[in-house]
Amino acid sequence: MPRLRRVFGATSYLRLIDRGERLVAMVLGVLLFLVLVTATVELSIDILTVELDPGRRWVGDRLTGVLGDLLNLLIAIEVLQNITSYLRRHVVQIELVLLTAITAVARKVIVLPPSAENKPLLIAGLGLAVVCLAAAFWMVRQVSERGDPSRTGPARSFPGEDRSPATDADGPR
């Protein structure tokens, strides 16, 4: 039983979870990189095929589709940057996450079909999402420009004594 308590003790448990998170992030990063390479090759072939065929037109739905695909790749690159940033610094960079979300909403607005003008709630919702994300980004930027290390750096333990109830492997004492 003491050995089991050691394995599931707070420090050992947190170390195990930390290693697991890093492993999952690495696997996701590799998989996303493979998806990015494959999608880039496919999009390049698609664009070259259209370029070489003078009978096909770019204007209209075709251009919107290509722009949507390009923006999807940019969003995937930003997600990969989020993963690699987490692996390097062991913190989630909220500015990068918000920029990724803003890019995703912008992509949705850019590729909206003409029939979307008949859906005012969709357009209003996307507009509200853009305003909220931009406001959140501005607030995060304001905090980081002040340079408050407690808000922009990795989390640190509280300097005072721990007042939480003591626990053991079975729960609170």
CB neighbour burial string for 144-160, b if at least 16 within 10 angstroms, e if fewer: eeeeeeeebeeeeeeee
Q: What is the pLDDT of residues 11-69, one digit of tens each?
A: 888 888 888 989 999 999 999 999 999 999 999 998 888 777 777 777 777 788 888 99
111 DSSP 8-state letter: T
Predicted TM-score of the model (pTM): 0.70
- The mean-pLDDT minimum among 2-11, 134-143, 156-165 falls in 156-165
36 in Cβ contact with 70 (< 8 Å): no
DSSP bridge partners of 138: none
User: Across-strand partners of 168?
Assistant: 171
CB-based contact 118:96 (threshold 8 Å)? no
Which tokens hold the place of 134?
């931009």
Q: What residue spans define the domains of the chain?
A: 25-151
